Structure 1
Amino acid sequence: MGFCCRHTILFAIFITFYCPRFDFCSAKDSIISSQYIKDPETVSSNGGSFILGFFNPEKTTNRYMGIWYKSQSNIIWVANRNQPLTDSSGIGTITISEDGNLVVLNGQNHIFWSTNVSKITLNTTCQLLDTGNLVLKDSAENILWQSFANPSDSLLPQMKLTSNKRTGEKLRLTSWKSLSDPSMGNFSITLERLDIPEVFIWNGARPYWRSGPWNGRIFTGIYYMNAIYLNGFRIIDDGEGTISLYFSFSDLTQFTIFVLDFQGLLYEKDWLNDMIQPLVNYSIQTSECDIYGLCGTFGSCNPNSSLICNCLRGFEPSNREEWDMKNWTNGCVRKTTLQCDKLKNGRGQGKEDGFLKLEMFKVPDFAEWSIASKEACRNHCLENCTCVAYSYSPEIGCMSWKGNLIDIQQFSTGGLDLYVRLAYSDLEKDRPTRKIIIITVTVIIGTLIIAFCTYVVWKRILKRSETKSKNKQFFRLKKNKEYSEETEDTIVGELSQVRLPEVLAYDLEKVATATNNFDLTNKLGQGGFGPVYKGILQDGQNIAVKRLSRASGQGLEEFMNEVIVISKLQHRNLVKLIGCCVEGGEKMLIYEYMPNKSLDAFIFDPPNHILLDWRKRFDIIEGVARGMLYLHRDSRLKIIHRDLKASNILLDDNLNPKISDFGLARIFKGSEDQANTRRVVGTYGYMSPEYAIEGLFSEKSDVFSFGVLLLEIVSGRRISSPSNNEDSLGLLGFTWKLWIEKSAAKLTDPRIYDTNVEKDILRCIHIGLLCVQELARERPNMSTAVSMLSSEIVNLPPPKQPAFTQWQSLSCSSSNEESQKLFSNNGVSITEMHGR
């Protein structure tokens, strides 16, 4: 008995003195009255990602109460930032004081920091939420104080940056003073210009950077910022004068914050769930041109120009000597006096002023906003002599400027059109000279091109004459091919051999022999690109030959793209490219042979339904998901497919899925994760809204297509085939209707429905709806989708209404005969439109 007592006492002493060294000594997510959290004890949020406790920055022993994300290297909030606990202060303590406030005490129990809420009730509780927000609540769960409303240098998801029109009160993020000093630094962030809101970074009382006007989707002064579908930013008006900016991402595998550093740079930091350090850490500012007003008044900044600051046309440096020394502070002045006032007063002579159009610009600061059409906006500025410039955006409305124009930047993409008032003489100046230069350059370039083409054609003709006899029988069928086409194809063929040593280059004779000169009995199918033939090589290997027709929408660019992309990929769920042939006006891709053709031949063709039970369909869904995950994350290259659909999923002997047709795929470089195009290509129905409408694509665009494909596999219904008994709803609209009616099981293909697997089917429908949500930021990425399918993520978030839930007949579906067939092999649809 004595032995046991001694050990019990020793264990109690061990817990008392050594407990702070172990994680189990950390408190839960709340601090209640009379509870003391002594340094180095901590409080963790329920999910464990956020921790409240004491820390010291690099190169100092000063202690601060703060909140960090996973690691003390990721501090997101500091309480006593201007009054640290020093060695002489003693050990710090966090507790609820007698007046109900959360306080930080030093070793002598003096208050070093307090939430300082007046008229507070007793029995308050402090809780660290899973959002990273530290809240002080009363017994009725009312929030009396929160760290989100008293921020340091970090903006977290759901935290609101606010500004009140009536009172002028603003919530302000403030930088640290230095890396080792979290006290309030020189730089701060606020929301300004509330009619058309902009984010400002201030250096003391001087503007240091601004985002440009918000157009309801993006900040127009951040040229690489994508539309609302790809970003989680929102600006809302509460109707009582307060404007709030916040962001949120529903991707469960990623956490993002924005941090203002002590040098005034705003960083975006992204973590994946299993990472301590951020995966992405880059500055929103990208060049010197982001410094507010760097080029002075009427000066334009262009980081891609040899001299980044230039006066706008019609203006000249106000001090040439300073300007030449790269001191642009005093900006530019107008060369020619405007006629507006003189003409109105009857004293002027000559033609009236006009506007110079500047494209893709960050518009100046101090815009005056009004609701007006583009024409009315122009006329109003033209008639008002004090108006020196205007800009019109359908999303914003009319913006106009008086006085000096400041903080103008020229972009290579994005931005807005800016119209600057100039005297008529400045608008006309140098036009004849410019025309002469353009004509001269055009003639020279044209002459060089003709000479080069003539030389290339001559060389190819000689080469063709040497090989003509070898392919005489086959080329007789193609005697009308033009030399120019042959030349172009041969150049591409040589290019492919140089760039792609992994891919075998087959000559035309060998491919023709393998397919018996493309005999119709060997034809496997027909797609938008042309026919597919079965062939047998001399070694007995079965192949599928994809032969591009002249009328194909898939041209040289798509052909070379497919060769380049697929030759570098290797995965069990991707079709294998054996080789290619570019010869004699032909462009052909040679794949491994898939005896079961494409997925759409099974799920949409009634006789074949029975071959795909639910287990096999789920295996196909999972295989496609893993293939897409490989493309997005695990391959040597990051690939966005852009045309994932049932006809592009081929099935092998065992009905295992193989993703095919990479003609529209896009390789992303380095940290690039999204892109914009004016050439929207792909298949309607499978296109995500941000891609179809705005030409924006990312891996979330492929996720949307995957969600559509998943719902097609579960239901056996085509995305493009509404039925009358569904009130003309498309597949997405019909699925959503059943989901909100809590009868989603009715979506299941009746030939595979089984009550034993209903739970798994409903989970897949749930995942499909998450993938087709309208906003890209709310869709999971492929790694999350794979985890959801494998049930690694147990609790799925509720889906939001999908895009395109109301069926609309699409001309590309109704006019394309191929799309009306029961199936198509590896079909491609290409559509061109201009994204806005």
Structure 2
Amino acid sequence: MATHNQRDTSLVATSRTPIITMRRSINFTCLLFLSVMFLPFCSSRDTDNITEGTILYPGGTTLVSAGERFELGFFSPKGSSNSTRWYIGIWYHGSHPPIIVWVARRDDPPIGRTGSFRLVDGNLQLWNEGQPIPLTDVGGSSSTRFAKLLDTGNLVLMEGDGSESILWQSFDNPTDTFLPGMLMTDDFNLTSWASQDDPKQGYFTFRRAQEGDATKYEVMRNLSPYWKSGVYGKFIQADEMFDIIAFLLSNYTMTATSLPTGTGPRYALKKIDPYSRRINPYSGSTRLVMNYDGQIQYFRGVNESKPVWSEPTSRCSVFNACGKFQSCNDKNSNETMCRCLPGFDLRRPACLRKSLICGKSDTFLNLKMMKAGKQDNQIRVDSEEQCKQKCLEDCNCQAYSFTEDQHQGRGRGNTACYTWSDELDNIQEFAQDGGNLYVRVPLSDIESTNRSCGTCGTNLVPYPLSTRQSCGDPLYSGFWCDNNTTQLYFEMHGGGRYRVTDINPEARRFTIQVKDASSCTNSGLVEINQQLNQSVAFSVRGRCSGGQNDFSTGDPLGSVGSIEVEIEWSNPKEPLCNSSKDCDWPHATCKNASDGSTRCLCDSGFSWSSFGVNCSLGAGEGSLQKRHKVKLVSIVAPAGVTIFILVFGGFYYMRRQHGSNQGSRESTQENPDFRLYDSEKRIKMWMESRQFDEDDKKGIDVPFFDLEIILQATNNFSDENKLGKGGFGPVYKATFPGGQEIAVKRLWSGSGQGLEEFKNEVILIAKLQHRNLVRLVGYCVKGDEKMLLYEYMPNKSLDSFIFDRRRCGLLTWDTRFEIILGIARGMLYLHQDSRLRIIHRDLKTSNVLLDEEMTPKISDFGLARIFEAKQTEASTQRVIGTYGYMSPEYALDGFFSFKSDVFSFGVVVLEIVSGIRNTGFYRSEGTMSLLTHAWNLWNDNKALDLMDQVLHETYNRDQVLKCINVALLCVQEDPSDRPTMSNAVFMLGSETVTLPVPKKPAFAVKIGVSTTASSSSKPELSSVLSTTLEQGR
């Protein structure tokens, strides 16, 4: 247009020139005529409509609305002019990079470089690779029809007969953006992009939801609510949308009286005509965007990089982020984000009361800066005490809140009492816009003893931890309760004060939030420990959580900076006292202790319980003096036993050898049940043999089985009872008298590696108890025979199902998903929740057994390694594991850590989803591993193509995609990029968490393979496809 006006001005100037030749005038006139004739073809950017014959190409011309507010044309999501992925869309004119507000046929494959957009026979069409793709399908054919881009951002198809009637409009087919002039109705949805550079439909949808007479809005994550407006009712107003947004969604037809009361400014606006060529001066460049990460965002201007309003703003503002009676703190890491309120126990997915309410001893938790789901009642009272009494008088009252009512009788300072009769949900703590909340609990559920310090907000402070002089043990002081926020802090020697994020009384541990990731380094942990070591009561356990492992990168709801260190407190002594009156529990007397202090010592016949803070029946501890006697006896007694064994050992051995055969037969006949020997006696004889090192001299917590009984139960290890074999040796089914079935794993004679595995496993697994770990029933050692006895798994191993085309259909998707969750929970127990911190090092589908209910049981701990509290990784010169499941840093460099197990877990998940082995994988396009194949499908937005075809009738789309996403995160090449098992469990179990985008996985590397060593006890024939690798270094 500017060029055209300049030409007009030039023509006028020429006509006023007195000296001009006729030839020059004629030439200029011809030039002007030709310019006008070819103007539509030379400068398509100056037009706002498409007619028959107009063609738009990728990287070429565009349409611009008359007021130069919006632009239509081809765009590439990554902004490259050489891209092969093009879409037709509308964006704000002049925005760089383009702010896309609408995309045509977003779920179709992208347009190639030779594609086009045109009007053919009265309908808009996209062309790709010479094939037409209709955008509109309006009946009839007319060469006079045209499409026009309006200044509202609306693309309309109109009749060209003078009536200009609207046949189709883009406003009726929105994508992820709501513009002024649109109208939010019950069937009008905004659906997010799949990712930042993929316009396809994503996981999140914004829509209107009618609840009675009230109009609400919600974000859905597939079919589950992800965020809702008005969740907190009148108790908390901060989640309400600005009034201007409600006006926008109603196309400015709502009146002030019909608006929900909110916190935003009020506007008096007029309805916008979506077909108008003029812009409502109030609309500006406002827009509402359903972002790909799950946030609904409101922008006021084109140049604004941040929205002026968005929800959800944190992990805790996600709808039902935690279960009922669970408090959510988005400043904590994923591990401690959701916690049961004091007086409640976790019964997934919610927390339940320890005791029923409505007793005379009921009290209230004092919680400040809190949010909670919408209240059930609002009562007019004169004081907070009246509000409290009203709740106590109602047995259904679960909680109350007293506040100044700012929304009824404005300016009169009315008070309001809110009460909750249903179970509390959507609880948030440490919320800047929160209020005071009082949750009803029996006093006995939060004060087990007068010595404990009670509660501080959502933390129950157990004995001996002390927040003040009048409670706890002075040796365990340093805790401070901020009464303004009801948050608990821990102050170390030297002045460092840290917020306490969780307390576990049973494990005698608590976690503190540190400022930066440097505290999680070895030197950082040492520094914290040095501050703690000034008191003998506390020590760093050596576990850090949060930081990068919380996957906050790219996730606006991530817990950035939430890094936590776990601290352990020592077992406390009896409480100090001045007189027996201070010993306010039975069977305790104030006496002088051996350490010179005066303490509440338990009477004879009773022992001190530090957890219950009482004296319980039993002479286990009795008193400090009693324990010193016990220590003396414990030193003298073993010495006597040792002398006895040395004197009579030779005689016993000769008698044993002479009568072993006859005794075994007689024992079998006299006692039809298998014989269990005392573990300590057996392990002593075993460890004294020359076959075991000094490091092996540890206690075994499972019974010993006599070889003759095992021979009888397995019919002398007959082939009929053989279940299979692995690198360790064959596995047999044993049936004992009474019908008990047990699996016997028999060490191959002369296998040096098997011997090490045997010692490792029998000592290690006996100390582990979890429903997703196989249970060790017992062991047997006699001469060269060494055997482990496990609970029998009738369904054998997982790989016998998923890789068998005849049996894979027996595992529905629900069963596979539960198996994945079970494996994840079992690995989390090994890494974090067990008494020991264990790396499995050989997790694979053949080492996952299935019981009669298809519950997964992780087995084969022959290669497992125990990590000390502060240890995070180790290396070995002897790399042993299974090709296809080993992480690259372990297979190539011998380094292993908890993240090595995470890698193996990712491979197992991909195999469960696909029903395909990672090892031996090949595709015609040259793909050499399942990981590569999964990564390619993920990048091509065809992840569901990875799923086992037998699952098409049972699968859950969201769960399948989530499992693939988590698996790809687990197999990333850099161990620091992989999640911890706790994060993997959280991501798999959460319905609302937004998962990060995985990086390129570590593809399989071909290296030398030996089939001579394996820890596999897979009860079926071994295969070259699951070769166990041993590489000396």
TM-score (norm 1): 0.43
Asked which structure has the greater RCO (Cα within 8 Å, sep 6+), the reply is 1
Greater C-alpha radius of gyration: 2
